[in-house]
Structure 1
Amino acid sequence: MFTRAGAGDRLVDRYFWSGHANPWSVWAFVAAYLTLVLAIYRRNRTLLTEVLPLVAINPLVAPEPADDSAWATRVVFGERIWLEQGTLRSTNTLFTAASAPVFLFMLKSAVERRSLRTGVGTVASIVLMLAFFRRMARLYETQTDR
């Protein structure tokens, strides 16, 4: 299904994409995102240094999903298709670029310890993240006639 063929790409497939497509891995990333926001807001270096390695090893330890029945798996497969198609002229890229200011607003608010702004920015960024996930799942489903 995916067109990558080089040896380096096979390693990325084996050690990143295959585990990242596991629903557990996807939802662990979402939880880690929320934890990172909290760590930044609280200036909790311990929490930050505990979560970052988990984010890094998450796709390496998660098993490859057996099939594409889980929505989160289809999200990751759609992301792979999007990246393989070339992202510069894509509406998904425009969506991502348009969402970036919300993520930056949330990050700035957390750094400045503005609780209301951090909360609003976090909720807005999660909504945008889930909207992006929806777009990626749909891309996969339309490309595979699912």
Structure 2
Amino acid sequence: MTLERTIASAFDMKDETWQRHASPWSVWTRFSVLPLLILAFWSRIWLGWGSLIPIAMAVGWMWYNPRIFNKPTSTNNWASKAVLGERVWLNRDQIPVPPHHRYLPNILSGVAASGIIFVILGVITLKIWPTFLGIILLNLSKLWFIDRMVWLYEDMKDQVPEYKQWLY
């Protein structure tokens, strides 16, 4: 089982949830999760133990986001195809992806992981520059990753009938 599939299982991502997450509203509002988490953890300097409330709310938003929006009326758009590509990527241990799609997503995930380290360092030390550097690394690598997922989906949709059915 891939790391990504483990994470998707932890978030209880079932078919219905994936369909809702394919809404462009879900994709774009998902980018609010990181700033909200950072702000919630940073709030410990103002709220003390009361910061657990905004932290819980930010984590709740992260879990609830793929579920809150309706299924899109069409998945024939960049944001929806990004989610469909993520599903293809998650399934790569069952249905292999073409060789030219196998490496860069892992590299981009590594860049995102380095961003997480900077964010954690910045939040712990209450320093702006590592926090913002981490946000930039995470968001740029995530945008590039999801753009690659669009490309992956476009390459795979005609090869796997199930994948083609996701496009409407």
TM-score range, shorter chain: 0.7 to 0.9
Contact 2:108-2:141 at 8 Å conserved across structures: no
CA distance 1:95–1:32, change in 2 (3 Å):
closer
> Structure 2: how far apart are the matches of 1:98 and 1:50?
27
> Structure 2: how far apart are the matches of 1:36 and 1:67?
31
> Structure 2: how far apart are the matches of 1:34 and 1:71?
23
Aligned partner of 1:13 in structure 2 is: 15
> Structure 2: how far apart are the matches of 1:97 and 1:115?
22
In the alignment, structure 1 segments of 5+ residues that lack a partner are 1-10
Which of 128, 132, 135 is matched with 1:115 structurally? 128
When normalised by structure 1's length, the TM-score is 0.79
> Structure 2: how far apart are the matches of 1:132 and 1:50?
27
Which of 119, 129, 139 is matched with 1:126 structurally? 139
CA distance 1:55–1:102, change in 2 (3 Å):
closer
**Deviation of residue 98 (structure 1)?**
4.1
**Deviation of residue 94 (structure 1)?**
3.5
- 1:65 partner SS: coil
Aligned partner of 2:59 in structure 1 is: 52
- 1:69 partner SS: coil
In the alignment, structure 2 segments of 5+ residues that lack a partner are 1-12, 45-50, 159-166
**Percent identity between the two aligned chains:** 27
Corresponding residue pairs, total = 135
Q: Which amino acid aligns with 1:38?
A: L
Contact 1:77-1:137 at 8 Å conserved across structures: yes
Contact 2:23-2:75 at 8 Å conserved across structures: no
